[in-house]
């Protein structure tokens, strides 16, 4: 059985179309996979930040028990926690603006907790209580986890962004609705070494 020239051309064209569709589908599937890694890592970041926020009420209640403790410092911690819990970000929309808003709220919590720990130094009876020591250790551990999870998030976002921006992926990424993910940045002024005076 001999195929006519028209049939051979049709089979070749169908084969090329099939290979093209398979190739484009592969690009889309890889983008979906990499985006899901970013989303999963974002959930891990939110989880460790939430752990820190969950520790704050216990810390505040422990510190409240000390007579004459600075109410203004406790209020600042409570307000920073409330602001941080109100900032919600959709992982599909991790752009520079939304991530900066989230980071600013979390930096407010870090700053308020830092001021609280400085004030606590004036109260040796508080620093000696087992409950406070345990909460302080949990907060320190959580801060370390936050650093690790932020780093992992940035690595996942970098892998996604690199794949997204490569040619010809960049052509299809826009068609499929994928966009670049933002990174966590260091706090403003973090590049300057602190000045120590004796």
Give all domains of the chain, ordered by start, each with its CATH number.
Answer: 5-176 (1.20.1440.20)
Q: Are 27 and 174 in contact (CB under 8 A)?
A: no
pTM of the model: 0.79
Please enumerate in sequence order all residues whose Cβ is within 8 A of that of 31, keeping only pairs 6 or more positions apart, or say none.
160, 163, 164, 169, 172, 173, 176, 178
Nearest-angstrom CA–CA distance, 21 and 37: 24
Q: What is the pLDDT of residue 118?
A: 83
Q: What is the pLDDT of residue 86?
A: 84
Q: What is the pLDDT of residue 68?
A: 59
Q: What is the pLDDT of residue 187?
A: 63
* 17 burial type by CB count under 10 A (0-12 exposed, 13-18 middle, 19+ buried): exposed
Nearest-angstrom CA–CA distance, 109 and 115: 10
Q: What is the pLDDT of residue 185?
A: 80
Q: Which helix (H) or strand (E) holds 169?
A: helix 169-176
pLDDT in tens, the chain (198 residues): 577 888 889 999 999 999 999 999 999 999 999 999 999 999 999 999 999 999 888 888 888 776 556 777 888 888 888 888 888 888 777 788 888 888 889 999 998 888 888 878 877 777 777 888 888 889 899 999 999 999 999 999 999 999 999 999 988 888 888 989 988 886 654 445 444 343
Cβ density class 132-170: b for 16+ within 10 Å, e for less: beebbebbeebeebbeebbeebbebbeebbebbeeeebe
Nearest-angstrom CA–CA distance, 136 and 152: 25
Q: What is the pLDDT of residue 66?
A: 66
């Amino acid at each position: 059985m001999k195929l006519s020239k028209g049939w051979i051309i049709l089979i070749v064209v169908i084969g090329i179309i099939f290979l093209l569709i398979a190739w484009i589908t592969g690009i889309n599937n890889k983008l979906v996979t990499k985006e899901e890694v970013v989303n999963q890592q974002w959930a891990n970041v939110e989880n460790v930040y939430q752990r820190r926020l969950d520790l704050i009420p216990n810390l505040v209640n422990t510190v409240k028990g000390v007579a004459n403790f600075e109410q203004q410092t406790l209020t600042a911690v409570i307000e920073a926690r409330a602001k941080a819990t109100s900032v919600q970000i959709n992982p599909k929309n991790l752009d520079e603006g939304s991530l900066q808003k989230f980071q600013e709220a979390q930096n407010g919590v870090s700053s308020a907790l830092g001021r609280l720990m400085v004030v606590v130094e004036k109260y040796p009876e508080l620093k000696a209580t087992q409950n406070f020591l345990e909460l302080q250790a949990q907060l320190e551990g959580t801060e370390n986890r936050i650093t690790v999870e932020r780093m992992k998030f940035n690595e996942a976002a970098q892998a996604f962004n690199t794949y997204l921006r490569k040619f010809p992926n960049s052509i299809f990424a826009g068609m499929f609705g994928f966009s670049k993910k933002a990174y966590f940045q260091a706090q403003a002024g973090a590049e300057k070494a602190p000045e120590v005076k004796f």
